[in-house]
Amino acid sequence: MIRQFELLELVQAYNPNTDVALLNRAYVYGAKAHAKQTRASGEPYFGHPLEVAAILTELKLDDATIVTALLHDTVEDTEATHDELRTLFGEEIAGLVDGVTKLNRLEMTSKEQEQAENFRKLLLAMAKDVRVILVKLADRLHNIRTLGPLRQEKRERIARETMEIFAPLAGRMGMQKIRDELEDLCFEVLNPEARTSIMRRFLKLRREKGDIIPNITAMIEETLYDAKVPAMVMGREKKPYSIWKKMEEKQIPFSRLSDIYGFRIVTEDEAACYAAMGAVHKKMRVIPGRMKDYISGPKSNGYRSIHTTVSGPGASRVEIQIRTRDMHEVAESGVAAHWSYKDGERSQNPFAVEPSHWLSGLLERIEKGDTPSEFMEQVTLDMFHDQVFCFTPKGDVYGLPRGATPIDFAYAIHTRVGDSCVGAKVDGQRVPLWTRLRNGQSVDIIRVEASRPTAVWMDMAKTGRAKAAIRRALRMDERGEHIRRGREIARQSFARRELDGGEKALETAARKLSMPSVDEMLAKLGAAEISGRQIVGAVYPRILEKEPDIAQLGAQNGKARVLVVGAPASLPFVFAPCCEPIPGDRIVGIRDQGVVTCHSIDCIELTSHEDHMDRWIDLKWDENAIHIGRATNVDISLANQAGALGSIATLIGEHGANIENFATLDRLPDFWRLRVNLAVRDVKHLSSILTALEAQTIVTDVKRVRAESR
């Protein structure tokens, strides 16, 4: 365990003007608070806060952060209080400790709702003061270093959580050194066999070729000396996890992996960086397509460096990173470089990103998802993926996750640009929208204002921002269709009873049903969440007193018909939009929140009601239901040729069915995908129509769309 004077020496080494009294006071307070506690290993618990503080001294952080590390577990694990810390150490330190305490209480569980909410809290804590996350990352790093005494199950859980959340977060903050160590330690816990195998292959390589790192280092140093470029050269073997990840991504064995060695050239200034690159390229053969200039186009977390890969001794590929000293500091400590000290003063590193600017950009890209799964999808896609940088024709740069497409690029520019995108040119050549973009490419988006996103874009888009925007556009389109459908149902419901169903009647119904607007009411009606009978009843309640309280979802010759038998007359009744049962389907009712919803017996939504069998109601179709029928959705893929759509419509009409509505899901040069809302009598009627459609040469696929196939 590090001792008090040793911690002071570590801080004074970079900050001679440190507040020694404050650090000593925090040390004594923390030691007393944790005096009776021990860790799982049996060691004194206070050794953990001390080691966390020591890790943060490597980042040369300010006194407040070091003191927070010493006290970060006191409020949670001892009798210490927030008020007491505020009195003894001030508002700033008390606030930082409180922030870390709240993060410690977040458990990243496998439950989607809880994990999404916890991650939102983590982002909010970062927004308040990024130093809270710096302490948390140091805390997690020391915990990972000391997992040994824990049960294997707990070790794996902590390692998996670290690999999924904290290691990528450290990388996104530019703290590459901490990320590398977190990943490698977790890799040792989660896949020890793979790590051991890679270590053995490194040993074998050293026996066969010797330790080639000093040889290549000497070669680069000699090259730079001859070119009169002052620089420091550092070489290393890449971490086992980094090697394994590349093997998995590229599906190649260790023997075929090229750049397993990495070298860094640290120069005095930017001009020397480019001079060093030129000298290295003149001495060693450059590997085409492996040069990236993050000095002229830095990453959002402040990272700047030139990356190039050359052919070294024995045809081995060598990756070289070239940067200045200030750039190297930011590359190692990322956002933390904003607080670093030199000689007792805050270091004014010109490349350190202002944390609030960095975080606001991050939060802007991660828009709030409509559901927990959508939010976590956006976090995973936009926050934890390596980036590529592409240019607009005007030279503006946009960072995107690796694997992004022109659709992602369009939405990165603006939502309107994405919504109206119809094509793209990459480096002047027209490309499909599903093309994966590469670093440094120029992307020109082709737009048509009247164009709208299609469902197939969800599979093409890779960024959370694009997926969220597409999802919103599709929902708006679907909502518009529901409103149109609802307006027609309402018109028929009023007309059938020879009642006035004008706009004023609809406004009255919306008010009586506590709907925020007429459109909201019609959208719910079109989505089968409420019935036309409910709307009529809101305006003319006495007119319906003599009508039976039944499910009415069809009409023939303007007369209401009974469709379902068995539902309580005292409760509202609706058909479930998820499975859209039609006469002939086996059906069951679910009583929930004062409404009976009719489902097909094989609807996957019923699984959520298995724990409440008392809510299930036996239902059956009325004998006259076949004469009324219901509408259901059918997806059809057919050849994109003249007359195809007309032939399908004619065939459906010949079979005595009616097309209530249809929408184009996708339209490509060779085929269409349509969703047809089809009014049929029953299951047998639908089956005969599907069989007839399948027999057509222009039809490649046809199926009824229900919950299990969506």
Residues serving a catalytic function are 76-77
CA atoms within 13 A on the CB side of 346: 10
Q: How would DSSP label each residue in 440-456?
A: T-BEEEEE-TT----TT
Would you call 394 exposed, middle or buried from its count of C-beta atoms within 10 A (0-12, 13-18, 19+)? exposed
What is the phi/psi pair of residue 153, to 5°?
-60, -45
Q: Residue type at 555?
A: A
Kind and range of the H or E run holding 286: strand 285-286
Cα separation, 170 vs 179, in Å, equals 5
Q: Quick check: 281 and 310 in contact, CB under 8 A?
A: yes
For 671: left if phi > 0, alpha if psi spans -120 to 50, otherwise beta; the answer is beta
Report the relative pairing of strands 261-267 and 317-324 from DSSP bridges.
parallel
How many degrees, rounded to 5, is the angle at CA 168 between CA 95 and CA 327? 85
What is the phi/psi pair of residue 165, to 5°?
-115, -60
Neighbours of 176 (CB within 10 A): 17
Cα separation, 447 vs 410, in Å, equals 10
Q: Residue type at 410?
A: A
For 514: left if phi > 0, alpha if psi spans -120 to 50, otherwise beta; the answer is left
Cα separation, 568 vs 596, in Å, equals 8
Cα separation, 244 vs 246, in Å, equals 5
Q: Quick check: 239 and 183 in contact, CB under 8 A?
A: yes
Q: Quick check: 50 and 75 in contact, CB under 8 A?
A: no
SS3 362: helix
Q: Helices (DSSP H) in 58-164: which residue ranges? A: 63-71, 74-77, 82-89, 91-104, 112-128, 131-145, 152-161
Cα separation, 330 vs 647, in Å, equals 65
Neighbours of 691 (CB within 10 A): 11
Cα separation, 343 vs 13, in Å, equals 8
Greatest CA separation for the chain: 102
Three-state secondary structure of 669-692:
CCEEEEEEEEEECCHHHHHHHHHH
* Radius of gyration (C-alpha) of the chain in whole angstroms: 33
Bridge partners for 638 per DSSP = 672, 699
Q: Which residue has the tokens 């969800």?
A: 458
SS3 549: coil
Bridge partners for 237 per DSSP = 261
CA dihedral 617, 623, 627, 632 (to 10 degrees): 30
Distance of CA 572 to the CA centre of its chain: 39
**What are the Cα distances from residue 121, in Å, to 205, 256, 292, 467, 525?**
46, 43, 35, 23, 37
Q: Quick check: 467 and 377 in contact, CB under 8 A?
A: yes
The residues, ordered by sequence, that sit 6+ positions from 203 with a Cβ below 8 Å of its Cβ are none
